[in-house]
Amino acid sequence: MKVAVRYYTKTGNTKKLADAVAAALGVEAESVETPLNEKVDLLFLGSSVYAAGVDSAIKEFINNLDPSMVGAVVNVSTAALLPSTYNQVRKLLEARGIAVKQEEFHCRGQFHALHKGKPDEADVAAAASFAKKIAGAE
Ligand SMILES: Cc1cc2nc3c(=O)[nH]c(=O)nc-3n(C[C@H](O)[C@H](O)[C@H](O)COP(=O)(O)O)c2cc1C
């Protein structure tokens, strides 16, 4: 099974999860600046919330995705308060005709003094086993 990992981060939290997912699956996590140029079964997409919305870089990446290159997207996210970016990301992807897995990985991300150290070691380990479970189930 072919997988890829893309993420957008402002302060490094989502990159921690993306790197853990990628390492677990034996690939490199790349920023959304790197277009997806190969056909994959699963695309793990890492994002987070800024002023209640996902960054325009995530929107642009999704708008430029070729739906024929992606079997399904797996949402991975961090946020200080919101439960996940799942609904926002799913809406954008489904508008492009790209399937989104129901399973997602989300954890708290540090925001100034809030949730210091998050994602922590346990979150990183949980993201890695989540990725293996989803990819193994394909
Ligand atoms: C400019 C800015 C705005 C944010 N707005 C929100 C918000 O509206 N809701 C929320 O839950 N978290 C908010 N956060 C917290 C981030 O979602 C959280 O720190 C996340 O883990 C950041 O991920 P990143 O380090 O990958 O950029 C905000 C963070 C920043 C830097």
Q: Which residue owns the Cα nearest ligand 1 atom 16?
A: 79
- Looking at residue 137, its pLDDT comes to 65
Give the dihedral of Cα atoms 51, 101, 130, 66; nearest 10 deg. Answer: -80
Q: What is the mean pLDDT of residues 18-47?
A: 98
How far does the centroid of ligand 1 lie from the alpha carbon of residue 3, in Å? 27
Total number of domains constituting the chain: 1
Q: What is the mean pLDDT of residues 17-21?
A: 98
Q: Does residue 9 line the site of ligand 1, with CB under 6 A?
A: yes
Give per-residue pLDDT as tens, 63-85: 999 999 999 999 999 999 999 99
Q: What is the mean pLDDT of residues 32-36?
A: 97
CATH of the domain at 29: 3.40.50.360
Q: Does residue 52 line the site of ligand 1, with CB under 6 A?
A: yes
- Looking at residue 138, its pLDDT comes to 55
Confidence grade of residue 104 (pLDDT, cut at 50, 70, 90)? very high
Domain that holds residue 51: 3-137
Element (H, E) at 135: helix 121-137
Confidence grade of residue 107 (pLDDT, cut at 50, 70, 90)? very high
Q: Does residue 137 line the site of ligand 1, with CB under 6 A?
A: no
Global confidence as pTM: 0.98
- Per-residue H/E/C for 10-21: CCCHHHHHHHHH
- Looking at residue 9, its pLDDT comes to 98
